[in-house]
Structure 1
């Protein structure tokens, strides 16, 4: 079992412990390390130096894929998720006057989310396999669909020539909230659809691989989709509702700087809190009950469950 999975097997059994771990290791400055330093950190994990081992483990957790052992692309490592996604989320929910900028920023946001979901998937059933044409088309289709759907509020306003202020308020401030959550859920479910189809690797309580389970793959993707929907839904809800409320107050209307800073500040703060919350909602090395497994794997669940890597 990969050292990253061994760590999650021994740690992070509760939400609060997982949140503390993620909050501590999601430091963008850690990604200043080179690939050579990351590889050396992986080699040091067997060191007797506990402090050195902890530093190496922290770097490994956020830089190395737990299934393949490969170094993650820099842009799709967990500590980089916040500094890249924050400006994209902010821009995606701005009230534009036309459809083109709405589509443009939705395209950037959905493309990045798709890349992050794919890079951090469970790839245990895809080792040494190249991306298939079907996967490539699925990713392209996901980006196209979520981009158009994400810009739907602006499309409604422009194409229907909506002049009513209440309807415009609904389209700009209320509709994006459930839409963001649904699209985030859909993105994970489609990009990682290979996992329920092919199954993912499952382990016994000692960390030994016992086969591949489609049921575990389905559970892993569903849990990750829920966590991402919670992240994006909250990131849309709090800033939008806060702006809607504060802009009705006279002292905010009189202070142009304050009015303009509400959305970017709230997006930054909400994402900085919700990203570790989202990552912590479900265990990284989760358990699936014996009765939920395929018949051929139930005999291996001597403790009543098997373990699987959820991905991120």
Structure 2
């Protein structure tokens, strides 16, 4: 079992522990570390005699773990490309989310959402479970093809209400409320989950590796793959659905107050709300499900059942 997964298993048992860990892992300062520093951190972990079944007390070792969690894929052991590492997720998605939330024309909304879904789909592809595609290049090619289709569909569906409203010149207050206030949050959340399901669908079609508590690979399970993908899709949908919903609701009540506010002040408040909600929801959504996922023995396929007597097996959920 990779050092990253052992660390998550040892120190990420509860939601609160995972929340605090993700808050540390997502520190943008990890992006300033060089490839040599990352390799040295991994070497330190490999040479460490400490067992990761116990909480890590050594500060140097813990910092090495955080750097490894932030920059290294647990299945392949390779360094994740710079812009697609977890610490880069917030700085890159924030301007894309803000631009997608602005009251723009339909074509502009389509382009903004296309850029957003293109990035998050690339992030999903590079941070998903890598055990299957590491062995078969055709799986990765299929994921890229599915990702392109999912990005185009998600951006088009996200802009469709605005296209429909402009096409039929629907300017009534109730239409404005539905299209600009109520629809964006569920659509954004659903499409974010949809792109995860699309690009990672080969994982539950072909299965992912499951391990015992000692890290020994016992086989490839479609059921574990399905569980991993669904958990990731749900957490992504919650993240961006909430990020669109809460600021919109709060701004609605702010705008209804009779206290005079300039458009610039309202826009600044909206940006602040989106930034605050996204920054708070990111570690919370990532921490909903354990990164080192667990699946009960009786939920697995028959060939794996016959190879072990352990009641719980483990897998990499992906991000």
TM-score in same-fold range (> 0.5): yes
Is 1:160 paired with 2:159? no
TM-score by length of 2: 0.93
Is residue 2:75 matched to residue 1:59? Answer: no
Structure 1 residue 44 and structure 2 residue 52: aligned? no
Q: Displacement, 1:129?
A: 3.8
Q: Secondary structure at the match of 2:169?
A: coil
Aligned length: 310
Matched, 1:283 2:307: no
TM-aligned CA deviation for residue 228 of structure 1: 0.5
Match of 1:2 in 2: 2
Pairing 1:1-312 to 2, within 5 Å after superposition = 1-45=1-45, 46-47=47-48, 50-96=58-104, 98-130=105-137, 132-251=140-259, 253-312=260-319
> RMSD of the alignment, in Å?
1.5
SS of the aligned residue for 2:80 comes to: coil
**TM value normalised by structure 1:** 0.95
Superimposed CA distance per residue, residues 150-180 of structure 1 (whole angstroms, 9 cap, x where no aligned partner): 1122112212211112211210110111111
Give the 4+ runs in structure 1 shifted more than 6 A.
none
> Quick one: distance in 1 between partners of 2:167 and 2:308?
56
Distance 1:224 1:134 in 2: 19
Contact 2:99 2:112 in 1 (8 A): yes
Give the distance between the partners of 2:236 and 2:150, measured in 1 at CA: 15
- Give the SS at the match of 2:132: helix
- Stretches of structure 2 lacking an aligned partner (at least 5 in a row): 51-57
SS in 2 for 1:201: strand
Distance across 2 between alignment mates of 1:225 and 1:157:
29
Task: Assess if the C-alpha contact under 8 Å between 1:239 and 1:262 holds in 2.
Answer: no
Aligned-residue offset at 1:223: 0.5
CA distance in 2: counterparts of 1:296 and 1:264, whole angstroms: 52
- Does the 8 Å CA contact 2:125/2:143 hold for their aligned counterparts? no
- Find the residue that maps to 1:206 and give its secondary structure: coil
d(CA) in 2 for partners of 1:141, 1:100: 18
Q: Distance in 2 between the 1:235 and 1:301 partners? A: 43
Quote the Cα distance in structure 2 between the aligned partners of 1:11 and 1:184.
28
